[in-house]
């Protein structure tokens, strides 16, 4: 995990590690609240793209954007290729995926 590596990286001046297990535990306990309300940007219309979640009623699905990001495209490259998209659309796709993963993980744990 990147956060763990950052917290355990030796600090300058030989003072040991930059973060102890207590510090990492404190970071993990910190509540995270997303300010992105993806529901304002994600639309699901049965007649459009087979009912897949799309961005702002466009024919660009959340899965398309996630696939482009996973394939190594930067946000700027995606925005250049799809001028109708906005940076907040990409953030909404990520928030949607995170929320869906959280819900799925909760279902498995139950």
| CATH code of the domain made up of 38-109 | 1.10.10.10
**What per-residue confidence (pLDDT) applies to 3?**
36
Please enumerate in sequence order all residues whose Cβ is within 8 A of that of 48, keeping only pairs 6 or more positions apart, or say none: 54, 57, 59
Condensed to tens digits (0 to 9), the pLDDT of residues 59-74 reads 999 999 999 999 999 9
pLDDT bin (cut points 50, 70, 90) of residue 109 is low
3 state SS of 55? strand
Condensed to tens digits (0 to 9), the pLDDT of residues 41-60 reads 999 999 999 999 999 999 99
Domain boundaries, the chain: 1-30, 38-109
How far apart CA 78 and CA 65 sit, in angstroms, is 8
> Is residue 43 within 8 Å of residue 54, measured between CB atoms?
yes
How far apart CA 80 and CA 68 sit, in angstroms, is 12
Condensed to tens digits (0 to 9), the pLDDT of residues 6-40 reads 334 344 444 444 555 555 455 455 555 556 789 99
Segment 94-100 mean pLDDT: 94
């Amino acid at each position: 995990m990147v956060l763990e590596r950052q917290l355990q990286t030796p600090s300058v001046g030989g003072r040991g590690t930059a973060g102890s297990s207590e510090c990492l535990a404190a970071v993990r306990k910190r509540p995270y609240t997303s300010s992105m309300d993806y529901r304002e940007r994600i639309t699901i219309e049965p007649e459009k793209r087979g009912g897949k979640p799309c961005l702002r009623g466009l024919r660009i699905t959340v899965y398309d954007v996630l696939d482009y990001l996973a394939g190594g495209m930067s946000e700027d490259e995606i925005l250049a290729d799809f001028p109708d998209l906005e940076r907040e659309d990409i953030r909404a796709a990520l928030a949607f995926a995170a929320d869906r993963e959280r819900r799925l993980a909760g279902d498995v744990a139950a």
